Amino acid sequence: MSLELVCPAGTPAALRAAIEAGADTVYCGYRDCTNARNYPGLNFDEAEMERAIAYAHQHSRKVLVAINTFPQAANPGPWHRAIDHAASSGADAVILADIGVLAYATKRHPELRRHLSVQASASNELSIAFFRDRFDIRRVVLPRVLSIEQVAALVNRVGIETEVFAFGSVGPMSEGRCFLSSYMTGLSPTSEGACAPASHVSYVEDGAATRSCLGGITLNRFSQGEPAAYPTPCKGRYVTHGCASYLFEEPVALNAIDILADLRDAGVTALKIEGRQRGRAYVSEVVASFRRAIDALERGDSAAVASGLHAVAEGGRETHGAYEKGWR
Amino acid sequence: MTARGKLTLGPLLFHWTAQKRRDFYFHIADEADLDCVYLGEVVCSKRDPFFEPHIEAVVERLTAAGKQVVRSTLAMMTLDREVAAARALAQTGVLVEANDVACLSEVAGRPHVVGPYINVFNEGACDVLIDGGAVRIVLPVEMTKSAVRVLAGRAGETEMLVFGRQPLAVAMRCYHARSHGLTKDGCQFVCGLDPDGLPADTIDGQALLTVNGTQTLSNGYLVLLDELGELRAMGVTHFRLSPQDMDMVAVARIHRAVLDGQRGTAEAMTQLRQLTGSIPWQNGFLHGREGLAWIERADAHA
């Protein structure tokens, strides 16, 4: 089986761009708190979702619907409605994280294929087995904290499909369980769907440099031309032992395009491109590059695939992240 | 509300020497008015072997002192030996606090505690876990009052962290090692240099976070002395103190007195302030605000 290329769509235009560029599968979410990229101007209303699924199916591609935040107490309505609508619109699968939402989907729509979101933070065999056995999960999106060896070991043991991140940001924290952004802003990525919401981000001129702030807290200071990431708490500079550093993660992007053979040999089913918050041009460029790389791999073309993606990589630099053991 | 609120001591999050850790627990066993003590390494399995030889004696001492002992697991497991250790612990039949979903399969159908590192934000998740045998759920730190009101007492026991640095994130990567130019695999146990965590400030000098190995905590201490009565009335049954490098027996005494209605919160807060020194207090999450905020009573009731 060829590696399945799973691509982001923050808008209907991005969905069409991803399909034109060679995506096998596109993932997207509703325009509300039910998905983990709840940023202004992004995502799909119900009519757009119906048209998107129809369009993808006309082109024999699949659509996965991310409903991967955690409902707040006494308000499961939006999540239930999202699942019901994804089911009635013919979505190929839903990507879920919350135990309660999983239970609802399993009971109400047993025929609707369920994937486990990275937000569920299932990073070992037993965790994946819990979700698989309890909610008949058919695919798990593995956290970005595992080495290739660990990915291969998990693939062998869990008995369901695995999807791994191939391009996007490096998430150093256990996803779905990080409260840093709400600690600084009062808005929860976990239940409201936006880490470092734009409403709380500000940039302040500071001499020849710029300070980026979240909730009024300075996360970074950088000069013109210096690589800098969007100010999420884990991409900030902090002072320990009197020295400022990128304590959690450098401003680099994950790019696994030159280790696709290793990921295929590890037995993964699908490669996930991150970036529902990015524009159509990003989607077209990244998806096309990965399409070429996967096709070359299929042909047994061992010539190195020139990536050329650093221009769209966050911070302009790239890493293999946790796939290499030295990362941690 | 007839039964009295239970006071618990959460698992020690920091890497103290085995000697210091053992003495701490003996002192807690003998002196602290606590109903329950959680024991176990939550942050990093590399620390485990140091304290292992003392666990049995500590469990014995705590149990003999009439305290319930719950064994806490790692918040995040990726290695086979970590999963195997959790499985072995669960199979001994002791009461386990599961902090990674991995443990839920192992303890399914048997009484267990769901720890604060497993996301339980709503009734749906709560019901699945109770159905699986959870007798107590420790709510995540990012919990608002309106959510507590819905979830507390839904079934079984409900516990909340009410004192100590707030756990904000767990990771595979060791930031303590990274701050010393090392990696997790060659960490030299530098986390042991900071028994109350390593301050991580903003570049313009604002105290913000505390690094503890692979874990990130708040710089300030969560203090909910003023909210204890309200939480109790909402159905919270257990109140957790997270061990910091300070006189935890005195911290327990202050909370016990407030829970029992024997001391006013104003007096208790004055006493606690003497113990916590210059470390800021925080309670924002419960009030639906940024977690680092401190909401005074007058504001909270406005």
Helix, strand, coil in percent for chain B, rounding step 5: 40, 20, 40
- pLDDT band (50, 70, 90) for residue A50: very high
Q: What is the pLDDT of residues B164-206, one digit of tens each?
A: 999 999 998 999 999 999 999 999 999 999 999 999 999 999 9
Contact residues for B132 (Cβ-Cβ < 8 A; gap 6+): B104, B107, B108, B109
CB contact under 8 A, A100 and B123: yes
CB contact under 8 A, B202 and A238: yes
Contact residues for A226 (Cβ-Cβ < 8 A; gap 6+): none
Ranges of H-type helices in A109-204: 125-135, 148-158, 180-185, 189-192
Find the helix or strand (DSSP H, E) in which A255 lies: strand A253-255
Q: Supply the pLDDT for residue B300.
A: 52
Q: Supply the pLDDT for residue B29.
A: 98
CB < 8 Å to A327, chain B: 173, 183
Q: Supply the pLDDT for residue B79.
A: 87
| Identity of residue B101 | V
Taking only residues 34 to 63 of chain A, the set having a beta carbon closer than 8 angstroms to any beta carbon of chain B reads: none
Tokens read off for B159: 């516990």
Query: What SS3 state is found at A89?
Result: coil
Phi–psi pair at A109, nearest 5 degrees: -135, 65
Nearest by CB to A71, which of B102, B124, B183? B124
Question: Which one of A134, A239, A241, A320 makes the best mutation probe of the B interface by having the most chain B beta carbons within 10 Å?
Answer: A239
How much is the ipTM here? 0.96
Nearest by CB to A186, which of B101, B167, B284? B284
- pLDDT band (50, 70, 90) for residue A328: confident
- B56-65, B131-140, B153-162: which range is least confident on average? B153-162
* Burial call B210-249: b when 16+ CB within 10 Å, e when fewer: bbbbbbbbbbbbbbbbbbbeebbebbbbbbbbbbbebebe
Q: Supply the pLDDT for residue A61.
A: 98
- pLDDT band (50, 70, 90) for residue B153: confident
Contact residues for B142 (Cβ-Cβ < 8 A; gap 6+): A179, A182, A188, A190, B285, B291
CB < 8 Å to A76, chain B: 122-124
Instruction: State how far residue B123 is from chain A, nearest Cα, in angstroms.
Output: 6
- A4-170+252-327 is classed CATH 3.20.20.70: yes
Which residue from A99, A93, A150 is spatially nearest to A123, judged by alpha carbons?
A150
Q: Is B284 within a domain?
A: no
| Identity of residue B138 | V
Q: Supply the pLDDT for residue A170.
A: 83
How many domains in chain B?
1
A289's torsion region: left (phi>0), alpha (psi -120 to 50) or beta? Answer: alpha
Q: Supply the pLDDT for residue A229.
A: 84
Find the helix or strand (DSSP H, E) in which B217 lies: strand B215-223
A76 touching B, CB under 8 A? yes
Phi–psi pair at B73, nearest 5 degrees: -105, 170
Q: What is the CATH number of the domain that holds B138?
A: 3.20.20.220
Q: Supply the pLDDT for residue B302.
A: 43
A253 pLDDT more than 90: no
Q: Is B85 within a domain?
A: yes
Taking only residues 101 to 130 of chain B, the set having a beta carbon closer than 8 angstroms to any beta carbon of chain A reads: 101-106, 117, 119-129
Cβ neighbour number for residue A326 with a 10 Å cutoff: 11
pLDDT (average), residues A181-201: 93
Contact of A312 with A324, CB cutoff 8 Å: no
- pLDDT band (50, 70, 90) for residue A304: low
- A99-113, A221-235, B35-49, B93-107: which range is least confident on average? A221-235
The parent domain of residue B107 ranges over 6-166+221-279
Domain with CATH 3.20.20.70 in chain A: 4-170+252-327
Q: Is B293 within a domain?
A: no
Q: Supply the pLDDT for residue B299.
A: 55
Helix orientation angle between A280-299 and A12-20, rounded to the nearest 10 degrees: 30
Q: What is the pLDDT of residues B251-278, one digit of tens each?
A: 999 999 999 999 999 999 999 999 999 9
Q: What is the pLDDT of residues B199-226, one digit of tens each?
A: 999 999 999 999 999 999 999 999 999 9
Contact of B29 with B60, CB cutoff 8 Å: no
Which residue from B163, B79, A39, A318 is spatially nearest to A28, judged by alpha carbons?
A39
Q: What is the pLDDT of residues A63-96, one digit of tens each?
A: 999 999 999 999 999 999 999 999 999 999 999 9
CB < 8 Å to B158, chain A: none
Phi–psi pair at B137, nearest 5 degrees: -120, 125
